[in-house]
Chains A and B, each alone.
Chain A
């Protein structure tokens, strides 16, 4: 027992090591779950993964740096279109094509993140909300303006067939799950792998000097500036990191949906992401994961519920946004710290040990 502890302690006390271990365990568990799931569930897990990546970026931005963004749906659109156009050029037949497309999506979103982040760094509260909401409306409309984006019908997305994947991946998946990899499980594995990597990166960032600066800027910008923190730079970095996560999520979304069209990136998408991070608790990556799970699994549940009380199919589809809206309102009114924050407050042993965070 003592020996076990002496092995665990150094791992648990170094954030990077701890995050890596948690991510690795989570990924192995996720692989096992995905491998034994039906095709329908695999699609949902893949959806959960890309929502979690986007929500993770957003929760860091809003929870740590204190900037609200309603434009993350637009940033996902940028990532989705970037990945789609790259896949169109390269053919999208190999694993390398997929990674190149995702890297380009991240890079393009980093640039957009800086462009939007610089003016946004000077805004707060309702002003940044209004500006980013305008972004969410404006960006998807651009697809109708230029032909290269395919207009309202959108662009088809090609992803590699399972048989085109390298043999070692097929063998590895077979070894772990005893199920042949197919297109749906491939996308789910890919999503969860990238989710694990993203969350390790974001968790480290938030525990690092950069993350501490963001918290300082959020809690008291005047004190932060007096302590030598460059407010604008800290905020722009936060926005850019968050935009990169949204870009990756958008690229993955394009591959999963197989069609990139402006209709997928409505105001509702941005507000839905907000609902996910507010529900989980602003600033908490665990909360973002929980929120993403809700986003992936609630629609079917809510639609079924709507149909069971006698609504038509189109009416029942509207139950989901009502639930998201109610979630936003109820969390703000009743539990502003979200699920994870409320649990933490509840579990905190002493007032001094409390990790309760301000939700502004």
Chain B
């Protein structure tokens, strides 16, 4: 029972991080119909920027904000310079392009910061909380992770549901041509979508790195887990992404805890294939049938 509780709590924290990643992918998918396979590498870059600031004695939360700002800028620049030429072109081109970007960011970070593992600080404790005599399988940092992801999620809901800007972004994503006729600066909205996504990715990177070791490859598994979580939720729905992330986090946590750590990616692949073949529009998509 104790192990089950620990595994579940661990899975929830893991799931929150996957959810943040899936959210970022979902934002980009909504605005440009592109799956950004470079998402994890972009988040890795912003995390390293934060680490350099922290090592230069900048307070943790200032570095956190700097990472978000860096992500915002990086996302905007990448969309404007690299992605714009392939928007609306053959979907294979965009996929290959983001994979190339993944390799470039990966290599450049390794050259700039080195490939060795480095410790990354956390703002709160990272040892399990004790209730009475028994320790339960969640850390203060784990709780912080869940809270931050919930805040990001709520912020995005407010942005898209209740603000004029969010409405314009949704319109630009829904039908670019009509929105342009109605006076929406579609290009800017797409850039903003990428920038927001990269900022969310930067938050996820900080949450993954906190209290752990980082090296240029530390985000690699999230390339696929974020994607699978987003597909579980249907790629189109932010809420679906979050639930998809939680489901994936819990599943992988149980597999790791009870079956074997090295089988986790294979189980993730199984989940992905089942979802794609049985319910291609995702578990929560309201949309009708869609080609995958």
Contact = CB atoms under 8 A, between A and B. Distances in A.
Given A127-B231, A133-B224, A321-B103, A142 B110 contact: no
19 contacts: A130-B35, A130-B228, A133-B224, A138-B265, A267-B223, A271-B103, A274-B99, A315-B110, A318-B107, A318-B111, A318-B115, A322-B103, A322-B107, A322-B111, A325-B107, A326-B100, A333-B86, A360-B90, A360-B93
Contacts of B105: 325
A1 to B, nearest CB: 46
A29 interface: no
Interface string B90-120: 1111111101111111111011001100000
Contact of B276 (A127, A139, A267, A268): A127
B260 A130 contact: no
Interface string B49-82: 0000000000000000000000000000000001
A336 B231 CA distance: 28
Interface stretch (B124-132, B182-190, B267-275): B267-275
Interface in B231-255: 231
A201 to B, nearest CB: 25
Contact of B100 (A133, A267, A327): A327
Nearest to B235: A126
A278 B220 CA distance: 23
Contacts of A326: 100, 104
A314 interface: yes
The 4 closest A-B pairs by CB, nearest first: A328-B100, A325-B103, A322-B107, A138-B265
B37 A129 contact: yes
A141 B266 contact: yes
Contact of A311 (B106, B111, B268, B277): B111
Interface of B: 34-35, 37, 82, 85-86, 90-97, 99-108, 110-111, 114-115, 220-221, 223-224, 227-228, 231, 260, 262-266, 268-269, 272-273, 276-277, 291-292
A145 B256 CA distance: 12
Query: Which one of B265, B269, B291 has the highest number of Cβ atoms from chain A below 10 Å of its Cβ?
Result: B269
Interface stretch (A101-109, A116-124, A236-244): A116-124
A199 interface: no
Contact of B95 (A129, A267, A325, A327): A129
B280 to A, nearest CB: 8
Chain A interface secondary structure, helix, strand, loop or mixed? helix
Contacts of B104: 321-322, 325-326, 329
A231 interface: no
A142 B266 contact: yes
Contacts of A137: 220-221, 224, 265
A141 B99 contact: no
A135 B277 CA distance: 16
A126 to B, nearest CB: 4
Contacts of A123: 276, 292
Nearest to A323: B107
A329 B97 contact: yes
A126 B34 contact: yes
B86 A138 contact: no
Given A68-B92, A130-B224, A332-B100, 5 more contacts: A127-B276, A130-B227, A321-B104, A324-B103, A328-B100
A325 B224 contact: no
A131 interface: yes
Interface string A149-161: 0000000000000
Given A68-B92, A126-B91, A360-B92, A325 B276 contact: no
A333 B276 contact: no
Contacts of B273: 119, 131
A130 B82 CA distance: 21
A359 B108 CA distance: 29
A29 B18 CA distance: 53
A70 interface: yes
Contacts of B100: 275, 324-329, 332
Contact of A336 (B37, B93, B223, B263): B93
Contact of B115 (A131, A314, A319, A327): A314
B111 A328 contact: no
A333 B82 contact: yes
A37 interface: no
Nearest to A358: B90
Contacts of A315: 110-111, 114-115
Contact of B103 (A125, A139, A268): A268
A124 B228 CA distance: 15
Contacts of B292: 122-124, 127
Interface string A30-69: 0000000000000000000000000000000010001010
A123 B110 CA distance: 34
B128 to A, nearest CB: 26
A333 B265 contact: no
Query: Which one of B35, B99, B110, B111 has the highest number of Cβ atoms from chain A below 10 Å of its Cβ?
Result: B99
Interface string A325-360: 111110011001000000000000000000000011
